[in-house]
Amino acid sequence: MSICLSAQSISLQTPDSARLLSDFTFSVSTEAVGLVGPNGSGKSTLLKALAGEIAPVSGSVTRTGTVLRLAQIDSDAPGSLLDALGVAAAVSRLDRIERGEGDETDFERADWSLPAAMDEALGRFGLEAVDLDRPLTTLSGGQRARAALARAWLEQPDLLLLDEPTNNLDAEGRAAVADLVRAFRGGLIVASHDRALLEQVDKIVALERPGWSVFGGGWSAYREARDAALARAEQAQAEAEAELRLAKRAALEAEARLARRARAGRKLRVEGREDRMLLNARRQRSENTGSRLAKTADRILGAAEAAAEDAASAAPRRARLNLKTPDVEVHGGRPVLSFEDVTFAYHGQALLKGLSFELSPGARAAVTGPNGSGKSTVLKLAAGVLEPVHGAVHRRALRTARLDQTVGDLDPALSAVDALRARDPGLTPNAAYAALAAFDLRAKAAEKPVGVMSGGERLRAGLALVFGAAEPPDLLLLDEPTNHLDLDALEALEQALNAYQGAILAVSHDAAFLEAIGVADRIGLTR
């Protein structure tokens, strides 16, 4: 396989000069590579450097073909769907020719295969019914994501770089991304937390703290190798720390022995029971021996300290999450939530019609369906944020918490600590700090304004609000909670939710997440 890109000893840093990656060397050919790592480890920055959008601090990137980094299209992006596809000029050229207004340059540059290619791309990614002149600001997040994928299919670069391509996509859209990864003929690097998508790649590059590693195979192979490597690193660190404790103990014991000898010699000199010259000679030998033993102890102790530091620095720093869900009292067998023939409409247009279901105490259910089918609306109805135009919603849970992917319940103008206390006045400052620390938001991170936090940080603050509440909920409503979590945090969240005793009603397109938290029932919606 021919190499289409190689990075030689590149180093990257943040705009404020914090180190992200050092001496990264890697090459990619016509294969699919997964890029994983904690939030903030530099995945997006690395993709930009590989695409040539930013220069590395040191090292070099060699590209032997065309490279396209497929960025997500923002909700306020200018232009139309045609602009997002990158073919506006080419389509205008063909239009001029069809109207009889084309010039010689138009005919020279005309791509007569473009209409068929566009039909294929739009059909492949479910955009065939969308007006090409429709402004991007009117498209849903899923439609914008699909437009970006369609552009990649049209351009067919030698190397395609994807950054979290399945965010905001429903199950059908995620399947389209997986199909793109399988069918793409060139090289591909995909930064993602989507475990199902990562199963499709040929190898995985993990950005770790510190360093980076390469693993053959997809997600399952990576997880097995990662866990084994982590176990070895933790074992080596434990052994090094045990050796350090033994060295410190031996040094203290040697120091105590020397002290006892010195006291015994002083006693003999005071009592005058031995010749003074003999005592002085013995003291000199003792001092020389003590000096040698002290130097030896220092050398052994220094070596043990260095070994412990090396073992600690070599161990990957995984997310420091210590998620403990509170005990929740489960009340009898009555449903904590029930919908009876619920209908809801936006601007007179029905979104939900005749929806009925029940959720028992401690049960786990998911609301499923394509984007735009009303999944988030069901959660808002369940929380009492919205009321149905017909039918009834019965909320029998004592306490209900709703967590959406934007964490809209937290005031963006407040620090994370103050935002938690504003939503839950029963929290003391210490309790708020502790709740945030459990989600790896410590010290300055806990005092950062919510409005400037990253998506992952905001979601962690929202989880801290839910699980750190003075009165924990017995019904938890989750709206795409995994969108901004890295893999370590995602697995920690799954463990926490598995320990949570209350009922869960979730909206998520992440099938692996729903399976991991034990969702047994599906409430299917259609559009």
pLDDT band at 4 (very low <50, low <70, confident <90, very high): confident
**CB of 311 within 8 A of CB of 335?**
no
pLDDT band at 474 (very low <50, low <70, confident <90, very high): confident
> Alpha-carbon distance 270 to 267, whole Å?
5
- The model's pLDDT over 164-195, given as tens digits with 9 standing for 90+, comes to 888 777 887 888 888 888 888 889 999 999 99
% of the chain beyond a pLDDT of 70: 83
Concatenated DSSP letters of 443-467: GGGGGSBGGGS-HHHHHHHHHHHHH
pLDDT above 70: residue 267: no
**Per-residue model confidence (pLDDT) at position 509:** 87
Tell me which of 248 and 372 has the higher pLDDT.
372
Tell me which of 406 and 213 has the higher pLDDT.
213
Q: Which fold has domain 337-524?
A: Rossmann fold (3.40.50)
Concatenated DSSP letters of 486-517: -HHHHHHHHHHHHH--SEEEEE-S-HHHHHHT
pLDDT above 80: residue 144: yes
DSSP type of residue 136: G
**Per-residue model confidence (pLDDT) at position 6:** 93
pLDDT above 90: residue 244: no
> Alpha-carbon distance 225 to 65, whole Å?
32
**Per-residue model confidence (pLDDT) at position 443:** 84
**CATH architecture of structural domain 5-226:** 3-Layer(aba) Sandwich (3.40)
Tell me which of 12 and 289 has the higher pLDDT.
12
370: cis peptide before it, omega within 30°? no
pLDDT above 80: residue 377: yes
How many other C-beta atoms can be found within 10 angstroms of the C-beta atom of residue 327?
A: 10
% of the chain beyond a pLDDT of 90: 36
How many other C-beta atoms can be found within 10 angstroms of the C-beta atom of residue 129?
A: 7
Q: What pTM was estimated for this model as a whole?
A: 0.72
DSSP type of residue 4: -
pLDDT band at 145 (very low <50, low <70, confident <90, very high): confident
pLDDT above 70: residue 424: yes
DSSP type of residue 138: G
Whose tokens are 């590149």? That residue is 10
Lowest mean pLDDT among 117-131, 278-292, 475-489: 278-292
pLDDT above 60: residue 275: no
pLDDT above 70: residue 249: yes
pLDDT above 90: residue 218: yes
**CB of 221 within 8 A of CB of 195?**
no
pLDDT band at 263 (very low <50, low <70, confident <90, very high): low
Helix extents (H) in 52-134: 81-84, 88-98, 104-109, 114-124
